[in-house]
Chain A
Amino acid sequence: MITQIDNPVIEIHDLSVSYEKKPVLWDVDMSLPEGKLIGIIGPNGAGKSTLLKSIMGLIPLSSGYINIEGKPLKEVRSKISYVPQRESVDWDFPTSVFEVVMMGRYGQLGLLKRPRKSDREIVMDSLHKVGMEAFKDRQISELSGGQQQRVFLARALAQQADIYFMDEPFAGVDAATEKAIVELLRSMSAQNKTVIVVHHDLQSVARYFDWIILLNMRLVASGPIEETFTPELLQETYGGKLTLLTEISDLIQKNRFPNRE
């Protein structure tokens, strides 16, 4: 059940992606509405992070294309923000909370330019929104998991984008942080920002999202939460393992077989 819409903010057309030669996403075709809080749901290895990374242009596509606001990625980069998984970076890196959030401004600053006063103000404002103002001079190595995630969110806020892609922002954070993040995402969505979140916990899906994407190597469903978050579709996403598809993928990887001519 894939709900297609008119004037989508993101349009994904027949997308296939391989990761280290192994196909992980097959023929994903969907369109997403503006200003919604959208969850990407699916089991481990379903290709949720891969979907985000391919939209962000971080991994090459085997086939298909992606339009954001009707344009290719390169033309709208300043309007989108990406929050990688917290574990993807080394938190022992010698820098402060303030400096990490300032990285959110680098896209606008461009090469060879130093941050201006307005950038500093945006950084402080972003830190305020995630409740981390008091930690601005703290070494990032001294932060807890929840605080690290807040810093990453503040960095995304500092980008002042219209569309946000977040890879597992709720993974390994404390209950207070999870609540704070949800409230923040809601208020962003209320300002007509589109927020797309990779999410793991089925229990909270119905409470958090307006729209969900059910994914398991292929697109199972995409649509409003009321219509899409159904036992049948969840069963299709989680239950019936697509063993044949997995075996084919493994075979392609092993033989280094091109999955497109």
Chain B
Amino acid sequence: MWENAIDFFSFTDANVIYVVLGTIILGASAAVVGSFTFLRKRALIGDAIAHSILPGICIAFILGGTKNYAFLIIGAFISGWISILLVDYITKKSKLKEDTAIGLILSVFFGVGILLMTYIQQSGNAEQTGLNYFLFGKAASMVGQDVIVFSVISVILIITVFLFYKELQLISFDEAFAQSIGIRVKLISFILSSLTVLAVVTGIQAVGVVLMAALLITPFAAARYWSGYLPRILILAAIIGGFSGFSGTYISYIAPNMPTGPWVVMVLSVIALISIVFAPKKGIVSRWFKQRKYRRLIQDENILKAFFQIAESNESFGEPKSVAMIRKKRYYSDRLINRIFKRLKRQGFLKQSASGYYLSKFGQRKAARLVKLHRLWELYLTEYLRIAPDHVHEDADTIEHLITPELEKKLEEKLNYPKADPHNSQIPYDN
């Protein structure tokens, strides 16, 4: 196995280079084309096409009697197109919805395809060996000429998407508007469908018909996590698609009995999983951190407020407070309060003395502002929303952590710098 790996990376075999480059390009082009079917919410159509080209390949083989690529591709292209037309026709003319139509066409075509393939395998035609690679893919079985055909088609796909980018983006976002400005939506949809069929056709030798849909859909789904800007997503999807195509080829050389399709899908799935978990902003981990940040912010601010309120009630600003005193205001556990104390000390809001913690100058200012916001918001709720004074505390307890300095200023102006809140507590101003 290691020898195979060394062979592979030394690229001494010219065919290896061809195949590697070919699969990278086809992975990238399938990802780019698939992105638009995804955006048009027709992600499953790729799966229907992929399964539906199998009978086309078999019929082309039976008619031609050879495994000539150009010939098989034409067969695949025709049966792929027929499947799209049938799905559209069923959706339009019958009561069945699109997903049902896709399921129906996919299984019928694939069933016929398997039937034909079995027939070919039993016919004893010597040419037929290797035809079953179309099921799960075998990148290494490609030879120079096939690779050239595939690569050329893939490059054409990418160029077409680039040329029609504007229109593809528009019909994916707002079809009615596109039609209203005179864009021929049907023509662009037709182009996109043709691109999808071609992308599937070029991908089958490397990935196989069964798993081809993954190469269309997964790169975009993963890339979507890393950016919110379509051109960047497309480039990233192309890189992910290309990389998974490459990894499929690699495994195909180092483990000759392994079909490539499942391996490509494994690589794609790992990339998608990493994206879902670790992507900045949208990933699970980043969301968790953000939530923790807010949770801590609220805890910290609540404790600062408690310090201020105690000091305010018995005129003891600057005197140390114990955990027990704070607990009377906020029912956090001892452990949690101690943790928050340490955090606030680190941030410079609290200072420690022998008998407990007290507010620093800095901390006192911040605490005063929080108390002010809380009381201003209570006043706003009672005056403008006519909510009873005994109902406003809970609301204000959440909102006070959210109010920005701009909103704070507006609130002060709107209420005309009031002196006291609805419960007659003084509103502390910073001067």
Residues of A within 8 A of B (CB): 53, 56-58, 74, 77-78, 80-82, 84, 88-90, 93-96, 99-100, 103, 106-107, 109, 111-112, 114, 139, 141, 155, 159
Rank and list the top 4 A-B pairs by shortest CB-CB distance, nearest first: A107-B181, A82-B180, A139-B228, A77-B182
Segment with Cβ contacts to A, from B171-179, B365-373, B414-422: B171-179
Query: What residue of chain A has the Cβ atom nearest to residue B223's Cβ?
Result: A94
Number of residues from B at the complex interface, CB < 8 A: 25
Name the A residues within 8 Å of B169 (CB-CB).
95, 99
Per the bound structure, the CA–CA distance linking A141 and B282 in Å amounts to 13
Per the bound structure, the CA–CA distance linking A217 and B170 in Å amounts to 32
Whether B166 is near chain A, meaning CB under 8 Å from some CB there, is: yes
Do A103 and B179 touch across chains, with their CB atoms under 8 A apart? no
Min CB–CB distance B220 → chain A (angstroms): 10
Interface centre among A74, A93, A94, A96 (most CB of B within 10 A): A94
Min CB–CB distance A110 → chain B (angstroms): 9
Query: What residue of chain A has the Cβ atom nearest to residue B187's Cβ?
Result: A111
Min CB–CB distance A228 → chain B (angstroms): 28
Min CB–CB distance A93 → chain B (angstroms): 5
Query: What residue of chain A has the Cβ atom nearest to residue B188's Cβ?
Result: A111
Do A77 and B174 touch across chains, with their CB atoms under 8 A apart? no
Name the A residues within 8 Å of B178 (CB-CB).
106
Name the B residues within 8 Å of A58 (CB-CB).
176, 179-180
Do A111 and B182 touch across chains, with their CB atoms under 8 A apart? no
Per the bound structure, the CA–CA distance linking A132 and B274 in Å amounts to 36
Do B176 and A106 touch across chains, with their CB atoms under 8 A apart? no
Do A94 and B228 touch across chains, with their CB atoms under 8 A apart? yes
Q: List 26 interface pairs A-B (beta carbons < 8 Å), by A numbering.
A: A53-B176, A57-B180, A58-B179, A58-B180, A77-B181, A77-B182, A78-B182, A81-B180, A82-B177, A84-B176, A84-B177, A84-B180, A88-B176, A89-B173, A93-B39, A94-B227, A95-B173, A106-B170, A106-B178, A107-B181, A107-B182, A107-B183, A109-B166, A111-B167, A112-B164, A141-B228
Whether B321 is near chain A, meaning CB under 8 Å from some CB there, is: no
CB-CB under 8 A for A94 and B224, given A82-B176, A100-B173, A103-B173: yes
Whether B230 is near chain A, meaning CB under 8 Å from some CB there, is: yes
CB-CB under 8 A for A106 and B174, given A57-B179, A94-B230, A141-B228: no
Which residue from B177, B182, B229 sits with its C-beta under 8 Å from A94? B229
- B229-259 with Cβ < 8 A to chain A: 229-230, 233
Name the A residues within 8 Å of B177 (CB-CB).
82, 84, 103, 155
Min CB–CB distance A234 → chain B (angstroms): 30
Whether B163 is near chain A, meaning CB under 8 Å from some CB there, is: yes
Min CB–CB distance B156 → chain A (angstroms): 15
Given A109-B166, A141-B228, output 11 extra A-B contacts at Cβ < 8 Å.
A74-B182, A82-B181, A90-B41, A93-B39, A93-B172, A95-B228, A103-B173, A106-B178, A107-B182, A111-B164, A139-B228
Q: Is the interface of A mostly helix, strand, loop or mixed?
A: mixed
Do A95 and B166 touch across chains, with their CB atoms under 8 A apart? no
Min CB–CB distance B34 → chain A (angstroms): 15
Query: What residue of chain B has the Cβ atom nearest to residue A104's Cβ?
Result: B181
Min CB–CB distance B205 → chain A (angstroms): 31
Do B181 and A106 touch across chains, with their CB atoms under 8 A apart? yes
Min CB–CB distance A95 → chain B (angstroms): 5
Per the bound structure, the CA–CA distance linking A58 and B229 in Å amounts to 29
Per the bound structure, the CA–CA distance linking A88 and B180 in Å amounts to 14
CB-CB under 8 A for A103 and B170, given A82-B176, A94-B233, A112-B163: yes
Min CB–CB distance A126 → chain B (angstroms): 15
Name the B residues within 8 Å of A159 (CB-CB).
181
Per the bound structure, the CA–CA distance linking A163 and B206 in Å amounts to 53
Per the bound structure, the CA–CA distance linking A155 and B167 in Å amounts to 15
Per the bound structure, the CA–CA distance linking A88 and B173 in Å amounts to 10
- B140-178 with Cβ < 8 A to chain A: 163-164, 166-167, 169-170, 172-174, 176-178
Per the bound structure, the CA–CA distance linking A66 and B227 in Å amounts to 44
Per the bound structure, the CA–CA distance linking A66 and B158 in Å amounts to 41
- B164-212 with Cβ < 8 A to chain A: 164, 166-167, 169-170, 172-174, 176-183
Query: What residue of chain B has the Cβ atom nearest to residue A83's Cβ?
Result: B177
Do B182 and A88 touch across chains, with their CB atoms under 8 A apart? no
Min CB–CB distance B95 → chain A (angstroms): 12
Per the bound structure, the CA–CA distance linking A53 and B180 in Å amounts to 9
Name the A residues within 8 Å of B166 (CB-CB).
106, 109, 114
Per the bound structure, the CA–CA distance linking A175 and B287 in Å amounts to 33
CB-CB under 8 A for A106 and B183, given A94-B229, A96-B229: yes
Min CB–CB distance A175 → chain B (angstroms): 14
Query: What residue of chain A has the Cβ atom nearest to residue B220's Cβ?
Result: A94
